[in-house]
């Protein structure tokens, strides 16, 4: 899974960060620099934080969030792991969700799973990345349990960014088996948040998935008609030509959708059809 790319790097920070960084001047500085796009200054402070023997959980969390927005987790993975490993158990309990975020962003699903709490996720971010982990590992029962907690968390979400994360999480969960539910979730997503692309494209992809099913159903019906021409009221030759024209039209649509929805995307939506 690649991180969804925010249209504005400042947006993923929003109000919840002001709560998280209380009690840490360095965390507040990192957040401030990141908010105004001063990446070099934020990077300098992140290096200082990760080099410390004892790190505040707020500092570590702000470092992870800023790296996730502006930098590459792959390059920072070793330093983040080393900083995390030398901290106390209490620190690790508090910062566990940030490890889910890092490993989830890197596509290291099994490692991310070790840090994920399905029963007691501590943040919208953990729910968001945790759902991707569970779906990628095909742990559908756990994904369903997390979706229940996601809906509860949504009722208490206090800002647009959290709502956006949670609605996108529900959309991704329902997209494989309850398309109407997924579309409804994405339709309620606030468009002034970074995940507008995910919501809007998700709706379009599900409608394309519906078109896929209609095409397959139509091709199957045409195949049966060719096998049983007596079902048609037209003259045999005219009927065969009409069937071929309809088939060509559907196959043209099918080829177009295959380009818009490659095999991996179709699999995520729970659909499959033979390549044309």
Supply the pLDDT for residue 174: 95
Per-residue confidence (pLDDT) for residue 237, from 0 to 100 = 61
- Residue 54 resides in a domain: yes
Tell me, yes or no, if the pTM score tops 0.85: no
For residue 247, what are the domain limits? Answer: 199-268
Poorest-pLDDT segment among 25-34, 93-102, 148-157, 246-255: 25-34
Residue 232, pLDDT score: 56
Whether residue 189 lies inside any domain: the answer is yes
The Cα-based distances of 239 to 150, 181, 208, 214, 216 in angstroms read 53, 40, 29, 21, 20
**Domain assignment of residue 276, yes or no:** no
Q: What is the mean pLDDT of the chain?
A: 86
Name which of 71-85, 92-106, 186-200 the model is least confident about. Answer: 186-200
Write down the pLDDT at residue 19: 39
Nearest to 50 by CA among 95, 104, 1: 95
Question: Looking at the structure, do residues 237 and 180 belong to the same domain, yes or no?
Answer: no
Mean pLDDT in residue range 30-48: 90
Distances (CA, A) of 187 to 160, 181, 184, 198: 14, 10, 5, 11
* Lowest-pLDDT range of 99-113, 195-209, 221-235: 221-235
Tell me the two tokens of residue 63: 């470092």
């Amino acid at each position: 899974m690649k991180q969804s790319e925010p249209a504005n790097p400042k947006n993923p920070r929003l109000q919840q960060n002001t709560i998280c960084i209380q009690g840490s001047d360095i965390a507040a500085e990192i957040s401030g620099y990141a908010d105004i796009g001063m990446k070099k200054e934020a990077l300098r402070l992140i290096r200082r934080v990760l080099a410390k023997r004892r790190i505040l959980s707020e500092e570590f969390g702000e470092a992870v969030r800023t790296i996730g927005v502006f930098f590459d987790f792959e390059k920072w993975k070793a330093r983040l792991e080393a900083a995390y490993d030398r901290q106390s158990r209490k620190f690790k309990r508090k910062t566990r969700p940030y490890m889910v975020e890092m490993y989830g962003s890197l596509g290291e699903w099994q490692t991310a799973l070790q840090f994920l709490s399905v029963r007691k996720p501590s943040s919208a971010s953990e729910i968001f990345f945790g759902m991707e982990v569970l779906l990628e590992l095909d742990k559908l029962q756990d994904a369903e349990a997390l979706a229940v907690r996601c809906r509860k968390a949504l009722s208490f979400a206090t800002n647009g960014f959290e709502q956006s994360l949670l609605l996108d999480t529900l959309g991704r969960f329902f997209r494989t088996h309850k398309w109407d539910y997924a579309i409804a979730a994405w339709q309620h997503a606030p468009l002034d948040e970074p995940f507008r692309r995910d919501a809007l494209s998700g709706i379009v992809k599900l409608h394309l998935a519906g078109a896929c099913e209609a095409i397959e159903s139509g091709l199957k019906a045409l195949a049966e008609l060719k096998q049983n021409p007596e079902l048609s009221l037209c003259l045999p030759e005219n009927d065969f030509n009409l069937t071929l024209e309809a088939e060509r039209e559907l196959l043209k649509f099918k080829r177009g959708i295959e380009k818009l929805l490659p095999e991996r995307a179709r699999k995520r939506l729970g659909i499959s059809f033979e390549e044309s």
